[in-house]
Amino acid sequence: MAGPCAMAALRARRGAVRGLCRSLSGKNEYDLLVIGGGSGGLACAKEAAQFGRKVAVLDYVDPSPQGTTWGLGGTCVNVGCIPKKLMHQAALLGSALKDAPHYGWNVAHPVHHSWSVMAQAVQNYVKSLNWGHRVQLQDKKVKYLNMKGSFCDPHTVRGLTKAGKETIVTADNIVIATGGRPKYPTHIAGALQYGITSDDLFWLKESPGKTLIVGASYVSLECAGFLTGIGLDTAVMMRSIPLRGFDQQMASLVTEHMESYGTKFLKRCFPTKVEKLESNRLQVTWKNTDLGTEETDSFDTVMWAVGRAPDTKTLNLERVGVKTNSETGKIIVDASEATSVPHIYAIGDITEGRPELTPTAIAAGKLLAQRLCGHSSELMDYDSVPTTVFTPLEYGCVGLSEEAAVQRHGADNVEMVCLREREQRILGLHFIGPNAGEVIQGFALGIKCGATYPQLMKTVGIHPTCAEEVTKLHITKRSGLDATVTGC
């Protein structure tokens, strides 16, 4: 007997685009179906529901290779921004304890950190957010289906529960918001068998101990930063440059600071195999490209932070003709988030050429819902989106990196990541220091509004703050002057 998807394909071949569970009138069950319960998908679903539309959300988390699972809310809530920021805060508190005696506080030393206490608190908080999302969907009358979705036709999706139960869902419009998952370097022996990723780190019950993090992404540096900060022996192995895509002068300052505070960096190195010793420790073998040598060391935990891949494998995109980038696997969309198939849209990390950031996915999801419901024609503006890397000394930025500015406008036309001509419009602003995200958030508004260098110089700083240094940027690389701050 033909399965639901086979039957749908047969009907499509006959020229019918009706789903299997539609009424005789051909009416779809929902106005909008969102596949993926992360930040973008939930924002889109709730916004559409507020306009009185009938909405459903399909969300399902495949276990990581190490068996880790989590609840509703996507990467940010469960294995990204939220637990990362909480563990970053734990490390900052540890640094504050070290500073406290210099301010007159009598703190008993040595100070010990308990991973299990921190992890339990973080995990409990994440679970409360999972529950909050469930309640919000219920309050807004959004149908939540804990199922893995795959397309049957452009209006029909097959949902499959963990127990294998099938449900067919039909909708006028479908939004794909399934996000991404960490990559494993499967060509490295033992990588998949013995390594973990950020999908697992935040849900560990016991301390990861001596840890090797492979990769130089922001995920790698953020995790290495808080692991070092809570007292763990931590090393970062990076094959080339840190924070690719970010301003490289700032990236170097970030890694230099981390190195000075105890994080080890194995530069120009790449792993070749991971083996489990009788002691249960993991022995990693790697090559040092600078020295041309092979080296080994043992660790309690090996974490891969070598990039993320879009979670599209089970969606059956080929069946309905949704086009993807063959190199990245991401879905190709236009300015309105529309895919190559009418009535199918995509938002967030799964889309090609978009910043992989929670707030952009949320904003794009809301605007898409407003357009689909006929309440707005506004498109998402992806220019000058601010972001922050939560390393021990935080790095916040908005706009272009120096490298990107030079590439776009030419070296002679750029100074201090501003245009040199006419009004000297600011192209990018980069800040390293405490609370960098809080600092950049405010300046991001000005840059979004077209702020210029002279306007910045007329802005009075708040003293004494770290943020006021931005208003005192009068020394450039081209001038050759010493930029060291010596006083007010």
pLDDT digit string, tens, across residues 357-416: 999 999 999 999 999 999 999 999 999 999 999 999 999 999 999 999 999 999 999 999
Q: 199 and 181 in contact (C-beta within 8 Å)?
A: yes
Residue 24 pLDDT greater than 90, yes or no: no
- CA–CA distance, 359 with 335 (Å, rounded to integer): 17
- CA–CA distance, 259 with 240 (Å, rounded to integer): 16
- Quick one: pLDDT at residue 20? 37
pTM of the model: 0.93
One domain for residues 205 and 284: yes
One domain for residues 323 and 433: no
Q: Final residue of a domain: which of 259, 275, 306?
A: 306
- CA–CA distance, 287 with 270 (Å, rounded to integer): 6
Domain range for 283: 191-306
Q: Is 106 helix (H, G, I), strand (E, B) or coil?
A: coil
For residues 189-205, give the mean pLDDT. 98
For residues 116-132, give the mean pLDDT. 98
- Quick one: pLDDT at residue 110? 87
One domain for residues 212 and 165: no
- CA–CA distance, 70 with 61 (Å, rounded to integer): 7
pLDDT-derived band at 483, boundaries 50, 70, 90: confident
The H or E element containing residue 274 is: strand 269-276
Work out the angle between the directed axes of helices 115-139 and 39-50 (0-180°, nearest 10): 30
One domain for residues 211 and 300: yes
Q: 299 and 284 in contact (C-beta within 8 Å)?
A: yes
| CA 134 to the chain's CA centroid | 22
463 is catalytic: yes
Within a domain: 386:
no
One domain for residues 344 and 355: yes
To which residue do tokens 């992890």 refer?
119
Q: Final residue of a domain: which of 306, 331, 359?
A: 306
- Quick one: pLDDT at residue 3? 55
- CA–CA distance, 267 with 252 (Å, rounded to integer): 12
One domain for residues 463 and 363: no
Q: Which of 155, 343, 463, 474 is catalytic?
A: 463
One domain for residues 219 and 331: no
One domain for residues 366 and 423: no
Extract the tokens encoding 186. Answer: 């499967």
Cβ neighbors of 457 (< 8 A, separation 6 or more) are 471, 473, 474
Strands (E), 290-440: 293-299, 301-304, 308-310, 344-346, 387-389, 395-399, 414-415, 418-419, 428-432
For residues 104-124, give the mean pLDDT. 95
Q: Final residue of a domain: which of 288, 306, 324?
A: 306
Structural domain total, the chain = 3
Which range is least confidently modeled, 15-19, 422-426, 427-431, 476-480? 15-19
- Quick one: pLDDT at residue 6? 52
pLDDT digit string, tens, across residues 267-309: 999 999 999 999 999 999 999 999 999 999 999 999 999 999 9
- CA–CA distance, 202 with 82 (Å, rounded to integer): 10
Within a domain: 447:
yes
Q: 394 and 386 in contact (C-beta within 8 Å)?
A: no
pLDDT digit string, tens, across residues 448-476: 999 999 999 999 999 999 999 999 999 98
- CA–CA distance, 364 with 125 (Å, rounded to integer): 26
Residue/partner pairs of 132-140 with CB below 8 Å, 24 or more apart:
133/37, 133/42, 133/71, 133/72, 133/73, 133/77, 134/72, 136/42, 136/46, 137/42, 137/45, 137/46, 137/57, 140/45, 140/46, 140/49, 140/50
Extract the tokens encoding 465. Answer: 């703050």
